[in-house]
Structure 1
Amino acid sequence: MANYQYDESGVLASYFALTFLSLILIPLTLSFLPSRQATTAKNVCNCSECEAKEARMKRAKSRSIFKPQLGVKSLSTIGGWALFAFLCYKVATTELNNKPYDPFEILGLGHGTAEKDIKRHYKKLSLKFHPDKVKLAENQTMEDVEARFVELTKAYKSLTDEEIRNNLEKFGHPDGKQEFSMGLALPTWVVESRNNFWVLGAYGMLFAGLLPMLVGRWWFGSRKMTKDGVLGATAQLAFKNVREDTTPETLIYLLARAWDIEQGSNFKSTASESAIAKLEADIKAIVGDTYGKTAKVPTTQGTVVTRRALALLYAHLLRIQIQDPSLQQEVDLLLPATQTYLGSMLSMALAHNWLACTTNIMQIHAYLAQATLPGSNPLLAYPSVTKEELKLVDGGVAGYIKALEDKHDPRAEMVQRVADKWGHLEVIDPQFKVIGERTVSPGAIVQLVFKLRLNSPTQAPTAPATELTPEERKQEIREEDAFLISKEDTAELLPGLQVPAFVHAPYYPANRKPSWWVMIGDQKMNRVIVPPIRVSDVPYANPSKAPKDYRMYKLQFQAPPQVGVYTFQLAFVSDTFVGEDARMFLPLKVEELAEDDEQDQEDEISEPDEDTLAGQMAAMRGEKVKKSPYHGSDDESSTDGDQSSDSDSSSDSDSD
């Protein structure tokens, strides 16, 4: 019968703890390593403003011995590895009592030593460790000496005596089969009666206190959050205040209110009242009395946090230098959080299918990314551009660069570098398609297939591609059909094409990777017809890969139930680049299936057999059915028989 023993030495418990710690510490440590995106995706903009931003971000993340900036995660990881090292030291220094019996090790011989050498070596040991020959040392008893000599004799016999060697080879011990014991990885002090109170108390605190508390915090915290990642109060704010005619100014105010609801009690600002008042005065000096006045949202709802957040948002949009470190820290936290708040507002607008309001919410993303006030000149997003210079320049960014070059201004080269990597979207050959059909029928599942690429706004639109050969055209159709029936909304990126990584956004407190919303709407009715999807990794135009320097995307929706021609607006709205939205009108012709198509569909359906229920029903309706092979053969045979009998009768008549 097995004998269960607790871990008196603590080695088994240490092994268990080491295994458990390794499962936690290894993934936790790997999470501190820079991600592949951070190591491979570089900021493609090297203008002076973006370089200053990069330096500022590095300083904010920099750590030193005097400012280690260790959080709970870092301290937990360090403490875990310290405990791991302690347990490893304990395991390495603790002597094991369950080592396999090794007579060679006991005698001090190497494995495989010949029996002759074993006998010679044992004689030397017996002369040295025999109880009659050993002089007792300090703290040594005769029992220890005798036990040592017995152990040497047993090891010697297990290597020289045939019977004992058989026991060793069969059971692993010279004395034969030993008692089987099972070790439990629990230290003995856990089950000692004197520690029952403390052990049971720890279990009670863990399972009756800490675990329910953690589950309760998770449960009640998740109930407060919506699927958009905001509190229910923030979603209620959007529900009450987002309207069909909501303006960008109202949206900015709602962002400040949302920050108050989400973080008002958590973020403690140390900014003085005079710093906020000075910031508000600077804002009013630029925008006038319109600051803070938003449509259908009374400013009396606001609190101190809302007032401060609204001032910080306008200061960012107007590029006003913030001197107070506490205010700068808050704006660095506020701007990334607005992406989540705007997502909740966008869901509210899409629930009502408001086209103009949806577009305004999407455009706020780009305004915040480029720090430009809604309605201002999009060229202000370029580096070192001033309003005074734009008043004297026509022709967009190309005209501005030309004006700088005429004055031999060194800024021309920097603006040109930014323009070369700007997100000017080109939409190629958008088409409505239905899988397996040549036309769009009422209620059919329609795929809007379109191709996108990015070009510099200083470059002329890409010239139409040359006429493809018949073989190239067939290959292109095969690729489009394969993408049409695939489950992916984005086609694979063709080799040799480059996509934007981190683009020009010097005032945004994080690196920015651009994306676009794609939606179908009706401008006359101000309604969103097809909800938007978000696309990214649009490649830059590459003349060496033309005409296939694009990427295909698709948007799926259901065709209208009525026959007719519908003129929809296809809109592409950028979340990063101001003034680079693209819109076009696409007619969708919904028509009934042609007679040829209906006939083709009917021909594809085989005629039922007459023996089946479907065949009997078809025969009753007067439709064609297939003759049963069995009855067909019987009919043929009976007909043949009739013919033969007729011939026989005719021959008899002739004979008569």
Structure 2
Amino acid sequence: MSSEYSYDKENEHWPFYVIVLTGLVTLPVTYSLFPSKIASAAAPKVTTDFRPKDGDLIASQRKALMRKNRRTWSILIAVGGWSVLIYMSYLIATAHRTPPKIYNPYDILGISESATEKEIKKWYKRLSLKFHPDKIRLDASKNETIEDVNAKYAELTQAYQALTDEVVRENVINFGHPDGKQPFSYGIALPSWLVQDQRVTALVMGLYSFLFLLMLPYAVGSWWYGLQRVSKDGVLMESANNLFREYKEDTDEGGVITALSVGKEFEEHASKIDESHLTKLESRILAEGELGPFAGGLTVKDKTKLEDLDDADRRKVLALLWAYLGRIDLDDPALNAFKYKFAPIAHSLANSFTSIALAYGNAGPILAAFRTSQHLIQAVPPNASPLLQLPYFTPKVIRSIEGDSRLHHTIEQFMDLPDTKRRKLAVGHGLLSENEYKTAVDVSLQLPYFRVAKAFFKVTGEKFIIPSSLVSLVVKGRFIPPGSEKVPEVNEIDLEDIDPPEDDLEALLGKNKNKKIKTVDGKVVIQDETPSLPPKAFAPYYVREHAPKWSVFLTDSKQGKMAVPPFTFTSFDEPITTADGKPTYAMQTLKAQFQAPPQRGQYTFVMHVICDSYVGFDTKMEVTLKVDDASMAAPQKDDDEISEPDEDTIAGQMQALKTGGLSAPQSKKKAVESDDESGTDDDDNDTSETNTDTEDES
């Protein structure tokens, strides 16, 4: 039995092959270009006309980062892939398809399938007389040959045998042909024009070899090497290892900034900075400062760490980071460019350091890492006044506002002052002008300050919290921009956390993230909610657009350890602003689930609500978790337990006759009443929530 090979002459098969190969690449690349549902929503921005001194330089770097993030190669691959897919679809739609041939002896003989064997024989005899080679005459107009006539007669004879001969009929039934098994035919998914020219064939084979023997292993290797080379935080593994070695249990914010200078991501840029610039850099950041000992915001401890570094490149990186945080003009366009370019790199490294600190669980370094992120985004040195985040605010203006106070004013504290007093402190000769003051106030009224109203623990669907149960930390709060006036009072109903219906398993497990449970006319209603995004961070000195994140976690103040790891929130269940940009003051709900301690008792934690984008917007308060004994939980009724029938039913009367009277049900009723009376006091003390002390300690 022979085999036949056929190429695709009518574009029936090879376009499908190309579509499959192209789709394997095009679809994943296209999917990667689409942002997530939340990220695709247009997050609002803080509107202001403020531009810092180096605004043009910052804007150009921001545009360069945006161009880099557009992933030009991915876009080109997606466009090219879809072009190929569309063209192949066109070829398939316009291709001439040859229907598969099914051997049908009735069609060949031209007779009905209902014909009897006698009719078939009679009809075949008539066709034999007509098409027998010895009796038929060749038609010259049709260019008939004796071979054509013989083939026609053989076909008729074979069809007749398929209907009358048992062996031939079995071949048709089993193999679809009177002669039994036919030669295999292999269709090759290549257009025939590719194999007509040997040069084209060699080119195609070379392309196949290049794709499957070179490009495919290279792509897989690059992907695998990339996974091994970069950590989950997006920094080089070598940088993460260096940060791990820099970790100390007493690391403060200045220590974190010093640790960030070990990042290998800086090397390419640091090597371009001339050694002679290092002296200039250090002299600028170590000059006398207006609000601290040094202009760069360093402490004496940080200065010592800088001077102890032996690596010149690392020393240049650290000096530029302090120059960025201190907003020092270096009088050199190249150095100023590096200063702003290093901030996003340092922020990524700070996130990696946060992960390392969380693994150790010491509260001090964790808080220092979170606050370092705030300082890098706002270009504010550690221990500096949060008022530096407002436009046009300088150390001189801040000194006028804070006076001799040892503690810095937060933006909220400053904006809580009467407007006349604020103007008196901030506006004047050498201070802010009226327009600058108005700009600062306008920006403040747009900042998303999350003010916690209540925090408590609960177990969904239960009245008590028992050991090792799944506890929810519920944080209720509103976004109230600093300086907001006529803020509505808190509705006590909004402070309640309503349990979902018992039949809503997804809600009980916390899977329906985009649904909100509300009380409407006394009924529990689950509504679909579109997550609301906070405004993008107002960070005029940061070259990358940043979406604020809020982290909620618990620490043990006695041991200085992390008790519950952070839960991060980037969107909220209620709109933060109206269509015209005004705050809604809607109550927001943040939930963090964790396992309760294995022992009963009262556990006091310190709850931290930290925004990664603004200095001074953090909340710190004590919360108390009460864990009751497991016996306090409502006992579950045994499925195998059979209840006694009611006495007023037929079953109840029959039961009474069997037991000799109606005394048994009556005694049971009394027992129930006794149980109800004994449980009255306990029911009065039961609550579905364990409230906590929510006094703000900050």
Q: TM bucket by the smaller chain? A: 0.5 to 0.7
**Offset of residue 347 of structure 1:** 1.9
CA distance in 2: counterparts of 1:557 and 1:73, whole angstroms: 43
TM-score by structure 2 length? 0.62
CA distance in 2: counterparts of 1:393 and 1:297, whole angstroms: 32
Q: Is 2:551 the counterpart of 1:517?
A: yes
CA distance in 1: counterparts of 2:31 and 2:376, whole angstroms: 33
CA distance in 1: counterparts of 2:84 and 2:237, whole angstroms: 43
**Offset of residue 410 of structure 1:** 2.0
Unaligned runs of 5+ in 1: 102-148, 152-179, 610-623, 625-632, 640-656
CA distance in 2: counterparts of 1:517 and 1:68, whole angstroms: 29
**Offset of residue 54 of structure 1:** 8.8
Contact 1:453/1:551 (<8 A) preserved: yes
**Offset of residue 546 of structure 1:** 12
Indicate the residue corresponding to 1:246 in structure 2. Answer: 251
Indicate the residue corresponding to 1:612 in structure 2. Answer: none
* 1:498–1:82 CA distance, 2 compared to 1 (3 A): closer
**Offset of residue 432 of structure 1:** 0.9
Of 193, 217, 223, the residue aligned with 2:222 is 217
Indicate the residue corresponding to 1:262 in structure 2. Answer: 265
* 1:569–1:26 CA distance, 2 compared to 1 (3 A): closer
Q: Residue 320 of structure 1: SS of its match in structure 2?
A: coil
Indicate the residue corresponding to 1:207 in structure 2. Answer: 212
Q: What is the percent sequence identity of the aligned residues?
A: 24
Of 185, 190, 205, the residue aligned with 1:185 is 190
CA distance in 2: counterparts of 1:202 and 1:496, whole angstroms: 49
Query: Where do residues 320-359 of structure 1 align in structure 2 (5 Å cutoff)?
Result: 320-322=328-330, 324-359=332-367
Indicate the residue corresponding to 1:453 in structure 2. Answer: 478
Contact 2:479/2:583 (<8 A) preserved: no
**Offset of residue 291 of structure 1:** 7.1
Root-mean-square deviation over aligned CA pairs = 5.2
Indicate the residue corresponding to 2:453 in structure 1. Answer: 428
Indicate the residue corresponding to 1:583 in structure 2. Answer: 620
Contact 2:30/2:78 (<8 A) preserved: no
CA distance in 2: counterparts of 1:34 and 1:445, whole angstroms: 33
Of 313, 320, 323, the residue aligned with 1:315 is 323
**Offset of residue 22 of structure 1:** 7.8
Contact 2:243/2:260 (<8 A) preserved: no
Query: Where do residues 121-136 of structure 1 align in structure 2 (5 Å cutoff)?
Result: none
Q: Is 2:414 the counterpart of 1:396?
A: yes
**Offset of residue 581 of structure 1:** 0.6
Letter of the structure 2 residue corresponding to residue 278 of structure 1: K
Letter of the structure 1 residue corresponding to residue 470 of structure 2: I
Deviations 1:627-646 (A, max 9, x none): xxxxxx9999999xxxxxxx
CA distance in 1: counterparts of 2:341 and 2:470, whole angstroms: 43
Letter of the structure 1 residue corresponding to residue 7 of structure 2: Y
Indicate the residue corresponding to 1:437 in structure 2. Answer: 462
**Offset of residue 97 of structure 1:** 10
Indicate the residue corresponding to 2:280 in structure 1. Answer: 278
Q: Is 2:490 the counterpart of 1:485?
A: no
* 1:580–1:73 CA distance, 2 compared to 1 (3 A): same
Contact 2:473/2:593 (<8 A) preserved: yes
CA distance in 2: counterparts of 1:383 and 1:487, whole angstroms: 41
Letter of the structure 2 residue corresponding to residue 429 of structure 1: K
CA distance in 1: counterparts of 2:294 and 2:389, whole angstroms: 22
* 1:563–1:34 CA distance, 2 compared to 1 (3 A): closer
CA distance in 1: counterparts of 2:395 and 2:566, whole angstroms: 34
CA distance in 1: counterparts of 2:200 and 2:211, whole angstroms: 17
**Offset of residue 188 of structure 1:** 4.7
Contact 1:567/1:585 (<8 A) preserved: yes
Q: Is 2:314 the counterpart of 1:306?
A: yes
CA distance in 1: counterparts of 2:599 and 2:70, whole angstroms: 64
CA distance in 2: counterparts of 1:43 and 1:371, whole angstroms: 19
Contact 2:471/2:595 (<8 A) preserved: yes
CA distance in 2: counterparts of 1:556 and 1:221, whole angstroms: 34
Contact 1:269/1:330 (<8 A) preserved: no
Letter of the structure 2 residue corresponding to residue 485 of structure 1: L
**Offset of residue 77 of structure 1:** 4.9
Q: Residue 434 of structure 2: SS of its match in structure 1?
A: coil
**Offset of residue 463 of structure 1:** 6.5
Letter of the structure 1 residue corresponding to residue 556 of structure 2: D
Aligned length: 528
* 1:211–1:304 CA distance, 2 compared to 1 (3 A): farther
**Offset of residue 317 of structure 1:** 0.5
Contact 1:332/1:509 (<8 A) preserved: yes
**Offset of residue 497 of structure 1:** 10
Letter of the structure 1 residue corresponding to residue 564 of structure 2: V
Indicate the residue corresponding to 2:611 in structure 1. Answer: 574
Query: Where do residues 549-564 of structure 1 align in structure 2 (5 Å cutoff)?
Result: 549-564=586-601
Query: Where do residues 133-212 of structure 1 align in structure 2 (5 Å cutoff)?
Result: 184-190=189-195, 202-212=207-217
Contact 1:247/1:295 (<8 A) preserved: no
CA distance in 2: counterparts of 1:208 and 1:255, whole angstroms: 42
Indicate the residue corresponding to 1:646 in structure 2. Answer: none
Q: Residue 625 of structure 2: SS of its match in structure 1?
A: strand
Q: Is 2:370 the counterpart of 1:362?
A: yes
**Offset of residue 307 of structure 1:** 2.3
Q: Residue 309 of structure 1: SS of its match in structure 2?
A: helix
Of 616, 620, 638, the residue aligned with 1:605 is 638
**Offset of residue 459 of structure 1:** 3.8
Of 403, 412, 415, the residue aligned with 2:440 is 415
Indicate the residue corresponding to 1:503 in structure 2. Answer: 537
Letter of the structure 2 residue corresponding to residue 311 of structure 1: A
Q: Is 2:237 the counterpart of 1:232?
A: yes
**Offset of residue 87 of structure 1:** 7.5
CA distance in 2: counterparts of 1:543 and 1:188, whole angstroms: 63
* 1:182–1:634 CA distance, 2 compared to 1 (3 A): same
Contact 2:325/2:376 (<8 A) preserved: yes
Contact 1:450/1:553 (<8 A) preserved: yes
* 1:69–1:506 CA distance, 2 compared to 1 (3 A): closer
Which stretch of structure 1 is more off in the superposition, 23-32 or 451-460? Answer: 23-32
* 1:61–1:561 CA distance, 2 compared to 1 (3 A): closer
Contact 2:8/2:188 (<8 A) preserved: yes
Higher helix share: 1
Indicate the residue corresponding to 1:48 in structure 2. Answer: 50
CA distance in 2: counterparts of 1:546 and 1:402, whole angstroms: 24
Unaligned runs of 5+ in 2: 100-140, 144-184, 403-412, 428-432, 517-526, 645-653, 661-698
